[in-house]
Structure 1
Amino acid sequence: MEYITVRAEGSDQFIEKKSRFIGSCKPVKTEEEALEFIAGLKTKYWDANHNVYAYILREGNIQRFSDDGEPQGTAGIPVIDTMKKSGVTDAVIVATRYFGGILLGGGGLIRAYSHTASIALGAAERVRMKQCLKLGISCSYDSYGRVQAIVPECGGIVDGTEFTDKVTISMHMEPELLEGLMRRLADATAGRAALERAGEEFYPLPVE
């Protein structure tokens, strides 16, 4: 089970025929969070001509957008279409425009708002959220060096390491990679490394 969202809040901007466009993006889980982000940017950019927005949420399959005074179909739709094409969900984008005195026309507005959404997504960094296995590996100090090297080689990501009378590595990995890890651990430690499952959780992974 996986989906694509953005890693963190980010923003970027550009100038198009003297109009300044600012794209701001943030990961959100609920409509309340999305609306709070939109309201905050409308306050921050209170003197802007337009604060166009769009958001897509997994929960309830919610999709909303607003042209915020721009000609119908030239602002909110290009923003949400850009989000859809990138596969992003659980995210909100606000595209702010300070009008520079030169009309862009319908096609120009569509291109400008699409680009604003694209740079906002780039600033927030798309990630693939996947349900991964949370694992714990216990091994001796003698085996630690080999085990530590094997985990990333098998696609695992170390979350923490505890040193007591033994070494315990906390990690997560995609479920389909577990079998390969188990084989490598058994070979490297003669079966002495203990591997325990600690549940499942969504983790950010690179977008392929």
Structure 2
Amino acid sequence: MFTLKKDVSVEITEKKSVFYADAFFVRSEEESLEAIEKMRKKYSDATHHVYAYSLREQGIRRFSDAGEPSGTAGMPVLKVIDFNNLVDTCVIVTRYFGGILLGAGGLVRAYTKAAAEAVEKAGKAEIIEAVNFSLEYGYDLHNVILRILEKYGTTPQNQQFTDKVHVESSLQTDAFENVKTELENLYYTNVKIEMLQTFMTRQM
């Protein structure tokens, strides 16, 4: 599975109609609706605010023609998302009518082109499983633990210093297993390792 590497905006013009395609990485329907509302406010004087989004969780897929003839706008945008095997993706295409009717075929081509250019500009990132985890250890191991975490590309996101050091961090699942193995081999019972939760994220 893939999602967008970054949020982007592109502009195209077809027979004097201007189309702004904004593509967003989203993790929920709430984030999708927030992105749509944000674009409606940004382009408040536009003629149409067409959108489509596809979410990994629960397989949610929605689109809107936003007043364009049925099947000429939202569905073509969703097809671009599907063609690129994207999830957790929301694409909003805003149209400023230029006074020349495009016809059904012209609308499909214009919305498809705008969405496709946005997706291409955003790039694709693989969706991977990651882990939130905690470590507890003595003060004498703190600098060593920090170096090990840094080696695997992460840093403590939450640190507490009491009678022992307690840190939380996150890593891709395979990297977490490597950290766990390395710590267990080096320090055995001197480091308490706890997996807090797994989640899906994009590989940057």
TM-score (norm 2): 0.70
Query: Structure 1 stretches of 5 or more lacking a match?
Result: none
Query: CA distance change for structure 1 residues 81 and 152 in 2, over 3 Å: closer, same or farther?
Result: farther
- Amino-acid identity (%): 34
Residue 142 of structure 1 corresponds to which residue in structure 2? 140
Matched, 1:153 2:151: yes
For the aligned residue pairs, the C-alpha RMSD in angstroms reads 3.8
**Rounded Cα–Cα distance in structure 2 between residues aligned with 1:91 and 1:175:** 23
Displacement of 1:153: 2.6
Query: CA distance change for structure 1 residues 66 and 186 in 2, over 3 Å: closer, same or farther?
Result: closer
Query: CA distance change for structure 1 residues 167 and 59 in 2, over 3 Å: closer, same or farther?
Result: closer
Between 35-44 and 175-184, report the one with greater CA deviation. 35-44
Q: How does 1:1-208 map to 2 (within 5 A)?
A: 4-5=2-3, 10=7, 12-17=9-14, 18-26=16-24, 27=26, 29-30=28-29, 34=32, 38=36, 41-42=39-40, 45-58=43-56, 60-70=58-68, 72-101=70-99, 109-118=107-116, 120=118, 130-154=128-152, 156=154, 158-187=156-185, 189-191=186-188, 193-202=190-199, 204-206=201-203
The question of whether the paired residues in 2 share the 8 Å contact of 1:11 and 1:119 is answered with: no
Query: CA distance change for structure 1 residues 19 and 153 in 2, over 3 Å: closer, same or farther?
Result: same
The question of whether the paired residues in 1 share the 8 Å contact of 2:135 and 2:194 is answered with: no
Displacement of 1:143: 2.6
**Rounded Cα–Cα distance in structure 2 between residues aligned with 1:122 and 1:166:** 49
Per-residue deviation, residues 6-56 of structure 1 (Å, max 9, x unmatched): 689x552313244322223452523x7655654664465343222212122
How many pairs align? 202
Displacement of 1:192: 5.8
Displacement of 1:103: 5.8
Displacement of 1:58: 4.1
1:196 match: secondary structure? strand
The question of whether the paired residues in 1 share the 8 Å contact of 2:81 and 2:87 is answered with: yes
**Rounded Cα–Cα distance in structure 1 between residues aligned with 2:66 and 2:40:** 11
**Rounded Cα–Cα distance in structure 1 between residues aligned with 2:110 and 2:178:** 47
2:114 match: secondary structure? helix
**Rounded Cα–Cα distance in structure 1 between residues aligned with 2:188 and 2:60:** 49
